Chains A and B, each alone.
Chain A
Amino acid sequence: MKKEWPLWEVFIRGQHGLNHRHVGSLHAPDAEMAIKNARDVYTRRKEGISIWVIPSAQITASDPGAKDALFEPSVDKIYRHPSFYDIPDEVGKM
Chain B
Amino acid sequence: MATAVDNIVSDKLFEWLLRRGDSALILGHRVSEWCGHSPVLEEDIALANVALDLIGQARLWLTYAGEIEGKGRGENELAFLRDAWDFHNFLLVEQPNGDFGKTLMRQFLYDAYQVLLLEALENSSDQRVAEIAAKAGKEAAYHLDRSADLVIRLGDGTSESHRRMQTALETLWIYTGELFSGDEVDEVVSDAGIAPMPETLQSSWRQIVDEVLTRATLEVPDTTFSHTGGVTGRHSEHLGHLLAEMQFLQRAYPGATW
| A41, B149: Cβ atoms closer than 8 Å | no
Contact segment of B8-16, B39-47, B57-65, B207-215: B39-47
Provide the bound-state CA to CA distance between A39 and B143, in Å.
12
Q: Does A67 contact B (CB under 8 A)?
A: no
Interface pair B49/A26, CB less than 8 Å apart: no
CA distance A55 to B146 in the complex (A): 21
Which residues 127-181 of B have a CB within 8 angstroms of A? Answer: 142, 145-146, 149, 153
Interface of B: prevailing SS: helix
Residues in B whose Cβ lies below 8 Å from that of A36: 46, 145-146, 149
Is A71 an interface residue when CB atoms closer than 8 A count as contact? no
List chain B residues, Cβ under 8 A from A26. 42
A27 and B42: CB pair below 8 A? yes
Chain B proximity mask over A31-42: 1 for CB below 8 Å, otherwise 0: 011001101110
How many interface residues does B have (CB within 8 Å)? 11
User: Is A37 within 8 A of B46, CB to CB?
Assistant: yes
Interface string of B68-95 (1 = CB under 8 A from A): 0000000000000000000000000000
Question: Which residue in chain B gives the minimum CB-CB distance to A42?
Answer: B45
B45 contacts which chain A residues (CB < 8 A)?
37, 40-41, 44
B146 to A, closest residue via Cβ:
A36
* Contact present for A27 and B46 (CB under 8 Å): no
> In this complex, which of A33, A37, A40 has the most chain B Cβ atoms within 10 angstroms of its Cβ?
A40
Taking residues whose C-beta sits less than 8 angstroms from the other chain, chain A's interface range is 10 to 19
Q: How far is the CA of A88 from the CA of B244 in the complex (A)?
A: 78
Cβ distance B8 to chain A, nearest Cβ, rounded Å = 43
Beta-carbon contact of B149 and A40 below 8 Å: no
The B-contacting residues of A in range 9-38, CB under 8 angstroms, are 26-29, 32-33, 36-37
- A44 lies within 8 A of B40 (CB): no
Most interface-central of B42, B49, B142, B149 (chain A CB within 10 A) = B42
- Let me know if A84 is at the binding interface, CB within 8 A: no
The distance in angstroms between the C-alpha atoms of A26 and B41, with both chains bound, is: 9
A residues within 8 A CB of B146?
A: 36
| Closest residue on chain B to residue A28 by CB atoms | B42
Q: How distant is B208 from chain A, measured CB to nearest CB, in Å?
A: 18
A40: which B residues are within 8 A, CB to CB? 42, 45-46, 49
Contact of A27 among B40, B149, B153 (CB under 8 A): B40
Bound complex: CA A40 to CA B41 (Å): 11
Closest beta carbon of chain A to B36's beta carbon, Å: 16
- Evaluate contact between A44 and B49: CB separation under 8 angstroms: yes
| Docked CA distance A27–B44 (Å) | 13
Binding site for B on A (CB under 8 A): 5, 26-29, 32-33, 36-37, 39-41, 44
The list of the 9 closest CB pairs from A to B, nearest first, reads A40-B46, A37-B42, A40-B45, A40-B49, A41-B45, A26-B42, A36-B146, A41-B42, A27-B42
